[in-house]
């Protein structure tokens, strides 16, 4: 494939194991760069489990997860023509990444997105090594839930060159909220065409707690206000005059 999948993670071992196992069963199967952003237990062992996975271990300034920086580190390390940014809490239909690559290849100004179905509880029978076999069951459970499919940043597929010209994700977003919306907005402002592949394939978001400093209301409010300013100013390029994607 001409696509590298970028996954970022800090201390979500169970979910990232599901994620890597799901990608390993994709047809066709992409390469993966997993940015391990200071997890207490290193995720490097996943390189031995999957030949398509490369782990970048980040140890500098990782007390709190910094999603924008982690994504930028991953994309800078990629060498393929296309990238697909997702997160460690996702599992995928087997045709997912083939659909992403096909959509970008047909439109080089394409910005591929896909809403994710939300699974609120993981059944006991689900394990990382049977995730491909039970995917359809998990998808059905998620669709029967009360939370509708959503997600600005669960899938961002585009040409790597376009990402670099935009200077990646804005690293001024610290903590939870809005960095995904900001990147989507800047892609559209740049003239990219949003392509939602929700009718071609599927993905399921696994449950996880939302606690700790990363999810503090203070960060959410500050980040939302930053997004509003970005929208008002018509920003396209982020991190101007700053180093970005630094280990």
Other CB atoms within 10 Å distance of the CB of residue 221: 13
Phi, psi of 120, deg, nearest 5 = -90, -20
Mean pLDDT score across all residues of the chain: 97
Q: Is the pTM of this model over 0.95?
A: yes
Kindly tell me if the per-residue pLDDT of 115 is higher than 90: yes
Kindly tell me if the per-residue pLDDT of 189 is higher than 80: yes
- List the structure tokens of 5: 């999948």
pLDDT at 57 (0 to 100): 98
Tell me the pLDDT tens digit for each residue of 66-108.
Answer: 999 999 999 999 999 999 999 999 999 999 999 999 999 999 9
User: For the chain, what are the domain ranges?
Assistant: 3-233
Tell me the pLDDT tens digit for each residue of 1-48.
Answer: 999 999 999 999 999 999 999 999 999 999 999 999 999 999 999 999
Q: Spell out the CATH class of 3-233.
A: alpha beta
Q: Which helix (H) or strand (E) holds 143?
A: helix 131-144
Rounded-to-integer distance, Cα 164 and Cα 118, Å: 31
Q: Give the confidence band of 150 by pLDDT, cuts at 50, 70, 90.
A: confident
Q: Are 111 and 157 in contact (CB under 8 A)?
A: yes
Task: Name the CA dihedral angle for 127, 133, 139, 144, rounded to a multiple of 10 degrees.
Answer: -80
Question: Rounded to a whole number, what is the largest CA-CA distance in the chain?
Answer: 50
pLDDT at 134 (0 to 100): 98
């Amino acid at each position: 494939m001409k696509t590298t999948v970028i996954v970022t993670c800090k201390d979500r071992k169970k979910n990232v194991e599901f994620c890597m196992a799901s990608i390993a069963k994709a047809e066709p199967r992409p390469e993966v760069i997993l940015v391990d952003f200071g997890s207490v237990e290193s995720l490097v062992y996943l390189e031995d489990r999957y030949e398509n996975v490369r782990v970048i271990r980040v140890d500098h300034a990782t007390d709190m997860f910094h999603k924008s920086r982690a994504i930028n580190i991953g994309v800078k390390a990629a060498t393929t023509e296309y990238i697909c940014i997702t997160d460690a809490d996702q599992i995928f239909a087997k045709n997912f990444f083939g659909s992403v690559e096909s959509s970008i290849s047909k439109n080089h100004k394409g910005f591929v997105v896909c809403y994710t179905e939300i699974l609120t509880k993981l059944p006991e029978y689900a394990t990382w090594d049977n995730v491909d076999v039970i995917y359809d069951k998990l998808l059905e459970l998620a669709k029967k839930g009360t939370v509708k499919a959503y997600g600005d940043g669960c899938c961002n597929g585009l040409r790597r060159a376009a990402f670099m010209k935009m200077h990646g994700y804005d690293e001024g977003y610290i903590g939870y909220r809005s960095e995904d919306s900001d990147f989507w907005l800047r892609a559209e402002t740049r003239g990219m065409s949003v392509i939602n592949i929700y009718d071609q394939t599927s993905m399921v978001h696994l449950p996880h707690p939302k606690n700790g400093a990363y999810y503090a209301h203070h960060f959410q409010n500050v980040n939302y206000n930053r997004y509003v300013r970005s929208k008002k100013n018509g920003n396209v390029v982020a991190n101007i005059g700053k180093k970005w994607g630094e280990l």
